[in-house]
């Protein structure tokens, strides 16, 4: 389910909605001090999530060689809040991904570096990989899976000229649908 995409500035700031600026934590924190972190400044940050009923394997959005693959230890928690009507629900922000248990895959691709970060959402901490650094993957190749429940996927693009084709926030886009195109 698509949540949005934002241009990253030199100071790692994204505009989430009309006039509201939300300063995300440093990309270095999200990537746990990856040697490639600086390459994503001024790039694009995308956020999607999987519901408990959707497919829980991850596939490469582009073809390329794996430069870095890591499982990044982090928190395992559910940020539950109560809305104005008194209903309980999970956090709907774009900040918890910086501390949750997550994985990191950095690809050297024809469209520049692309980072894929499967994020264990709430109490899910099962980001596993089925590939190794140095492997060459074709677009759409599986590179791992979640073992349980709903989870997130963050993608970072080094280049800022990727034309994100998906536009409907909250819509379920399926594997194989066009997400974006390099200009």
pTM of the model: 0.80
Residues whose CB falls within 8 Å of the CB of residue 18, separated by 6 or more in sequence, listed in order: none
Tokens in use for 9? Answer: 């500035």
What is the structure's pLDDT at 168? 86
What is the structure's pLDDT at 82? 62
Q: Which residue has the tokens 């999530």?
A: 49
**Rounded percentage of the chain residues whose pLDDT exceeds 90:** 26
Segment 4-33, tens digit of pLDDT: 888 887 766 665 555 555 555 567 777 878
Tokens in use for 97? Answer: 């991904």
**Confidence label for 95 from pLDDT (cuts 50, 70 and 90):** very low
What is the structure's pLDDT at 97? 47
Of 141, 126, 5, 119, the C-alpha closest to 66 is 141
What domains, with CATH codes, occur in the chain? 2-182 (2.70.70)
Instruction: Count CA within 13 A, CB hemisphere, residue 36.
Output: 21
Residue 126 CB coordination number (10 Å): 18
Tell whether the model's pLDDT for residue 92 goes beyond 60. no
Segment 122-172, tens digit of pLDDT: 665 678 899 999 999 999 999 998 876 568 888 999 988 888 888 888 888
What is the structure's pLDDT at 33? 80
Tell whether the model's pLDDT for residue 74 goes beyond 70. no
């Amino acid at each position: 389910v698509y949540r949005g995409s934002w241009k990253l500035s030199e100071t790692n700031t994204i505009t989430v909605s009309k006039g509201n600026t939300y300063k995300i934590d440093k990309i270095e924190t999200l990537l746990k001090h990856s040697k490639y972190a600086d390459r994503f400044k001024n790039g694009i940050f995308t956020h999607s999530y999987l519901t408990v009923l959707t497919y829980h394997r991850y596939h490469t959005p582009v073809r390329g060689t794996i430069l870095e693959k890591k499982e990044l230890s982090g928190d395992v928690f559910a940020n539950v809040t109560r809305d104005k009507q008194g209903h309980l629900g999970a956090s709907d922000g774009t900040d918890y991904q910086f501390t949750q248990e997550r994985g990191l895959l950095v690809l050297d691709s024809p469209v520049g570096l692309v980072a894929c970060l499967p994020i264990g959402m709430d109490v899910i901490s099962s980001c596993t990989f089925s590939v190794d650094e140095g492997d060459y993957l074709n677009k759409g190749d599986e590179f791992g899976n979640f073992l349980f429940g709903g989870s997130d996927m963050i993608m970072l693009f080094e280049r800022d000229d990727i034309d994100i084709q998906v536009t409907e926030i909250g819509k379920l886009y399926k594997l194989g649908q066009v997400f974006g195109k390099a200009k």
